Amino acid sequence: MSTTMRRLGIITLTNSAAVVTPSLLSSTAAFPGTLTLPSPLLSDRLTNSILFHESRSLSFSCFSSSSSSSAAYLPSLEEYPSAKGSVKRDDNQKVVLKGMTYASLQEWVQSHGFRPGQALMLWKRLYKDNIWANNVDELEGLNKDLKRMISEHAEFGALSFKDIRSASDGTRKILFTLDDGLVIETVVIPCDRGRTTVCVSSQVGCAMNCQFCYTGRMGLKRNLTTAEIVEQAVYARRLLSHEVGSITNVVFMGMGEPFHNIDNVIKAANIMVDENGLHFSPRKVTVSTSGLVPQLKRFLRESNCALAVSLNATTDEVRNWIMPINRKYKLSLLLETLREGLSSRHKYKVLFEYVMLAGFNDSMDDARRLVELVQGIPCKINLIQFNPHSGSQFIQTEEDKMIKFRNVLAEGGCTVLMRFSRGNDQMAACGQLGMIGAVQAPVMRVPEQFRTALKASV
């Protein structure tokens, strides 16, 4: 059976019919291409495919010989004007300044009869010299005609500041409201070694449904635009530089799967590293992915920024469970893609992120397998303490065991880092961002050998 629809909500499946009940979440089909993800709580013989077409219609196909009835959540999706995450603005087609690269900004300024040098002055007022202009009155040094043109034909902001929350360790979580009323979260993480990092979101929610991640419980609402991504870094500097010092690093590790919004993420990263603007070093802008292989290949071709891959398991069986994207892109394919893609890159290392889940992926056998898996890949491994959240199935690995795990990796020749929780008393730590609504993504079926351990952890 196959149904084409503009909106998906709760799909109730029996052996002969599919009943569609639209959910209450407001979301958009923000990416083209095909994503096949498993539906938990259903028969192993059931396959669900969500096809995202350039025409922005959706085709949902399901096949089951199971005689039992079940329900699976799929992200609610509504049609938006662009399949690439742009939000249409009802303001006479004004451009959003922070959504343009410098080349595009220069072209736009010249199209209105002004000189290229004036475009550079505008660019620096937006991103440089501690100005971070957020309205026309802050464009110091620009002539009146240019400022008038900008006022009439451009918008400065894509975000509205909502709130800022401070954790006991100095981490700040900034909440922003978008034009459509949705809310995203950005985290600023100070470091006593003089390095302060801003963690930016790339989507509202996430479609990947990683079982240890609070954001994944939301499902995907929509992609962020380029301007909505860039302005998170601008706001972080504008709001907090006087408190935390220079913000030197950017990580795309907030809400969402960055490679699911690859066009806007690459464009935003390019704006961030522009030497006449925010001027982050490409080595200090890190984009993380759960393992979308085609987009990973494109990123390695087109971007000089750093790459992180969220690995989190050493077998397909475990990764299929905790990271459903692995059912489409297996560990072997993901790792071989990295071996091939990094073979021609000079002094470039991927950062493997490994969230440690007590009893599931933290055995010494896992450590030894991980050493074997990363052979031939220039890399560092970041062991991450799991951050609990409401409804979580998992608990943290004890610190002593994390150290033993690290030692096995180090003895195997790996470069290993350890990341402990930052900001978790304000739900600002890794895997804690977002706000869950009434409808949530499904809990995946637990592999049989882990069911006893899971019961003991909850």
Residue 18 CB contacts under 8 Å (≥ 6 apart), including other chains: 1, 3, 11, 12, 60, 62
Q: Which DSSP letter does residue 396 get?
A: B
CB 413 within 8 A of CB 377: no
* 305 included as an active-site residue: no
**CA 279 to the chain's CA centroid:** 22
**CA 206 to the chain's CA centroid:** 7
Query: Residue 330 CB: number of other CB atoms within 10 A?
Result: 15
Going through 230-280 in order, the beta strands assigned E by DSSP cover: 247-252
Q: Which two tokens stand for residue 68?
A: 């039992």
Q: Which two tokens stand for residue 9?
A: 């909500």
With b for 16 or more beta-carbon neighbours within 10 A and e for fewer, the 103-114 pattern comes to eebbebbeeeeb
**CA 374 to the chain's CA centroid:** 23
Rounded Cα distance between 444 and 172, Å, is 32
Which one from 185, 228, 231, 257 is the annotated catalytic residue? Answer: 185
Which one from 231, 340, 430, 448 is the annotated catalytic residue? Answer: 430
**CA 25 to the chain's CA centroid:** 19
Q: Where are the alpha helices (DSSP H) in 63-220?
A: 102-111, 116-127, 144-153
Strand partners, 287: 252, 307
Rounded Cα distance between 268 and 270, Å, is 5
* 185 included as an active-site residue: yes
Catalytically annotated residues:
185, 430
